[in-house]
Structure 1
C-alpha cells in the first residue's frame, strides 16, 4: 500500500546547492535608518507620552503649591481687613490707628504692611509705609507692587479699602514667598530636564530591546531572501508575543518549504516516473508500426497505446487534484455537511468490488458526524483508502470502514488485513509516486495516499498510519484521517 504519514519536518536535500541570489539592498543585514525605524517611532511615542505625563504632573504640583501660597496670603489679608473694618465701626479712626499699631508691634517676622491716611489730605495716620504708593491709585482693590518697607524695597501683596474720609492699605511682604516661588520654578525646570533625559534614555532602551527581539526574524528573512530556505527564527524561550510571532513564521516557512519540496518532487517524478510509461507507450507504437502484420494487429497496438496514454492522463489529473488540495484552491467549496451519508455512499460503491474479490467490506458508522469541508474531495479521499485496502487485502479478507467523534476530532479509519507497511515505509507513505517493495507488482501510480494526505491537511487535519492488528502476521494496515469537527 503506497503513501506516507504527515510530514513534520524538512531535510536538506543532498548534493550541491545552487548559488544564492544576492540579497536586495533593502534587506541588507543591519538596523534601518533611525527615522525609518519602527523601534524609533515606538520609542519616540513612549518618550513623548512619558515626558508629557511627567511634565504635566510637575506643572500641576508647581501650580498647586504657588497657588496655595497666594490663596493663603489673600485669605490672611482678607481676614485682617474684615477685623480692621469692624474695629473702625466700633472705635472710629482713632481705634483703627491703634489697632494697626498693635498689629505692627506684635509682627515679629516683619511681614505685615499697613498704611492709614486721610482721603483728601493724604496725611499719614498709622502704618509702616512712608507714603501712599502711586500704583495703588491706578489699580483695583487687589494688587502686587514693590514698596519701601522699613527702608527696604520688597514685593508686596496689597489690598485697598476705602472708608469714609480714610484710605487703608493692608498687605503682606512676599519676599520669602517670591524666593520660594523662584525655587519651585527652578525645581520645575530641572525636573522637566531630568524627565526629558529619562524619557530619551527609556526610548533608547525600548528601541534597543525591540531591535534585539526583532533581529532573529530580520536575520531569518534576510537569509531566506538570500536563498537559504532552511533558516528559521530562533526562539527566546520567553513564550511572549515575539516568540509566538517567530513560531508562526517558522510554521509558515515549514509549510512553504513543504510545498516547494512537493513541487520539486512533482518535477522529479514527472521527469523519472512518467518518462518510463511514456517511453514504453512510444516504443509499443513504433514497434507496431514497424512489425504489425495486419490492420488488426496495428489497431490493437494503437488501442494499447491509447490505454497507456489514458493512464498517464489520469496520473496528471491526480497530480493536479493534489496540487489544488495542497494550495487550498478549493476552500471556497467548503460547506457544512454530515459525513456519515458520504461514508455510506463510498462503502456502497466499493462493496461490489470487494465482493468480486471474495472480500468482506464492513462499516461501523455513528448516526451523525458534522463538519465543514469539501464533500467531493472527502469522498475522493475515502474512496482512495477503500480502493487501496481492497487492492492489498487477500481474497477472503476483510476491509472495515469506521468513523467516530473523539476529543481530538472526527476520525475516519479504513483497516485491512493485508501485508501492511513497515515503519520505514510509513515514513515515506504519502510521497508522490512512492510505492513499497511489496506493492511493485500491484497496479497503481503511488498517488493515492498523497491525495488523501493533501485533502486531510486542506481540512486542517492529519493522516495517521498504524498496524491494523499489532503483533499479528501479516499485521494489516489501518489508515486514519483525523479531521476537526464542526
Structure 2
C-alpha cells in the first residue's frame, strides 16, 4: 500500500495518468460522437426511404385502387430481399392481401408512427427485427412498410466493437505518449536538478545543461546560467571583499587600539595625547569611509533605490559634476573636456553623479600635468554611454578585469585616500541601471566607461 501511495505521489506517474485519462476521455467522446452520428444518419435515411415508399404506395392506392396497390407490392417483392424491404397489406379484418410478412403485429394500430418490433417473414416464418411505419387506407385496409433491422443491428455491433478497439488502442497510445513525454520532460528536469544539487554543494562553476534546441528548457537553462554567472561573480566579489576587509581594516583598527591604549600612559604629555587622539580620529574616519562605501556598493548591487529612478539629463549631470571638479583640475594643471551627446535616461541622479565623480577622481589621480581628461557621452543601441579618459600610463592588460573588484588598487601601497572601492561602486551603479562597466587602454591613457540602459 505504501509503495502504491509513493507511486501516486510521483509526479511522473500522475502526469502519465492525467495524460491517459485526458486522451481516453477525448477519444471516447469523439468515438461516441461518431457512433451516434452514424446511427442517426442511418436511421434518418431509413425513415426517409420508408416514408417515401409508404407515400408512393398510398398514392398508388388512390390512383388504381386496392388491386393496383397489391400489384405494386407484388412488383417490389422480387427485389425486397436485396433491399431488406418488408411489406404487409391487410384488409380491415387483418387478412393478408400482399407482402412478405406473415401477419399484422399485435397492439400496433395503423398510422401510429415509426415503430421498432419483431415480425415473422411469410416465406420462412423467420422472426426478424423490423423498423417500420404504417398507414390506414380510406377503405379500412392497413399498409405497413419497413426495413429488416438485422443488418443495422449487426452494423451496430461491428461499430461498437470498432469503437472499443479504437478506444483500447487510444488508451495504449496515450500511455505510451504520456510515458515518452514525461521521459523527455523529466530527463531535462533531472539534468537541471542534478546540476542544481552540485551547485548547492558548493560547485559554483557548474552550469545548467543546454542541448541547443532553443526550446523552453534551453531558455530556462540560459536564464539560470546567466543568474549563476552573476551569483558566482557576486560570491567571488564577496570573498574578495571579506578578505580585503580583514586585510584593510586590520591595520587601522590595530593602530586605533594602540592609540587608545597609549592614552592611559601616565608618562604621556597632554600634547602627545592630543596627537594620539587626532591620529585615532583619522583611523576612525578611514574605517567609517570604507564601511560607508561598502554599504553603498551593497545597496547598489541589491537595487535599493530603483523606486527613486527619474528622467536624468546626462549632459546636464556631466556639466554639474565638471563644474564642481574644474577648480581642482585647474590646480593640478589638468583640463576637463566634454564631448558628445546623450538622450534622457531613467536613473538615480545622486548615484550617477557619484559614479561620474569617482571616475573623474580616478582619472585626475593618474593624469599627467598639462593634459586633458575627456568626458564623452554617446549612444550605443539601447544604452547611453558615459566614459572618462585620461592621458596617463594606463593599466596592464591583465589587470583591466580586476579594476571593478572591491579593494583592488594598482597602487603599491593603499592609503587612507584610496581603499580600492571607487570603481567597484561605479560598476555596482552601472549594473543597477541595467548596464555594465568597461575599461580599456587607449595608448596613452585609460578609458573607463559605464553603459546605462535608457529603460532598465
Instruction: Give me the TM-score of the superposition, normalised by structure 2.
Output: 0.91
1:84 corresponds to 2:53 = no
Pairs within 5 Å for 1:223-238: 223-238=198-213
* Aligned counterpart, 1:122: 94
Instruction: Give the C-alpha shift of residue 479 in structure 1.
Output: 0.6
The C-alpha deviation readout for 1:157-184, integer Å capped at 9, x for no partner, is 1211111321111122222232122211
CA 1:51–1:160: 2 relative to 1, 3 Å: same
Secondary structure of the corresponding residue to residue 379 of structure 2 = strand
Instruction: Give the C-alpha shift of residue 46 in structure 1.
Output: 4.0
Secondary structure of the corresponding residue to residue 466 of structure 1 = strand
1:413 corresponds to 2:382 = no
* Aligned counterpart, 1:324: 299
The C-alpha deviation readout for 1:110-168, integer Å capped at 9, x for no partner, is 7322222222x322222222222114249932111111112211111121111132111
How far apart are the structure 2 equivalents of 1:336 and 1:255? 27
1:398 corresponds to 2:367 = no
Out of 137, 145, 149, the position equivalent to 1:170 is 145
Pairs within 5 Å for 1:12-411: 34-107=7-80, 109=82, 111-119=84-92, 121-137=93-109, 140-149=112-121, 150=123, 151-163=125-137, 164-286=139-261, 290=265, 294-366=269-341, 368-407=342-381, 409-411=383-385
Question: Which stretch of the first structure deviates more once superposed, 144-153 or 42-51?
Answer: 42-51
Secondary structure of the corresponding residue to residue 187 of structure 2 = helix
1:483 corresponds to 2:452 = yes
CA 1:406–1:113: 2 relative to 1, 3 Å: closer
CA 1:441–1:421: 2 relative to 1, 3 Å: farther
How far apart are the structure 1 equivalents of 2:23 and 2:280? 80
Question: Which stretch of the first structure deviates more once superposed, 180-189 or 357-366?
Answer: 357-366
Instruction: Give the C-alpha shift of residue 383 in structure 1.
Output: 0.4
Indicate conservation of the 8 Å contact 1:129/1:148, yes or no.
yes
1:422 corresponds to 2:396 = yes
Indicate conservation of the 8 Å contact 2:80/2:86, yes or no.
no
Indicate conservation of the 8 Å contact 2:336/2:373, yes or no.
yes
How far apart are the structure 2 equivalents of 1:240 and 1:342? 44
Instruction: Give the C-alpha shift of residue 224 in structure 1.
Output: 3.1
Secondary structure of the corresponding residue to residue 108 of structure 2 = helix
Aligned residues: 448
Indicate conservation of the 8 Å contact 2:430/2:452, yes or no.
yes
Secondary structure of the corresponding residue to residue 107 of structure 1 = helix
Indicate conservation of the 8 Å contact 1:113/1:127, yes or no.
yes
Secondary structure of the corresponding residue to residue 221 of structure 2 = helix
How far apart are the structure 2 equivalents of 1:102 and 1:201? 59
Question: Which stretch of the first structure deviates more once superposed, 350-359 or 136-145?
Answer: 136-145
Instruction: Give the C-alpha shift of residue 53 in structure 1.
Output: 3.4
How far apart are the structure 1 equivalents of 2:71 and 2:268? 154
Q: CA RMSD in A?
A: 2.4
Indicate conservation of the 8 Å contact 1:430/1:453, yes or no.
yes
Question: Which stretch of the first structure deviates more once superposed, 314-323 or 335-344?
Answer: 335-344
CA 1:296–1:39: 2 relative to 1, 3 Å: same
How far apart are the structure 1 equivalents of 2:161 and 2:7? 34
Instruction: Give the C-alpha shift of residue 78 in structure 1.
Output: 1.3
Out of 419, 432, 435, the position equivalent to 1:458 is 432
Secondary structure of the corresponding residue to residue 162 of structure 2 = helix
Secondary structure of the corresponding residue to residue 328 of structure 2 = helix
Indicate conservation of the 8 Å contact 1:50/1:199, yes or no.
yes
The C-alpha deviation readout for 1:326-373, integer Å capped at 9, x for no partner, is 11122222122111111111111111111111222222242x531111
CA 1:400–1:105: 2 relative to 1, 3 Å: closer
Instruction: Give the C-alpha shift of residue 256 in structure 1.
Output: 2.2
Question: Which stretch of the first structure deviates more once superposed, 336-345 or 429-438?
Answer: 429-438
The C-alpha deviation readout for 1:207-254, integer Å capped at 9, x for no partner, is 111101211211122233344333321111112110110111122222
Q: Give unpaired runs (5+ residues) of structure 2.
A: none
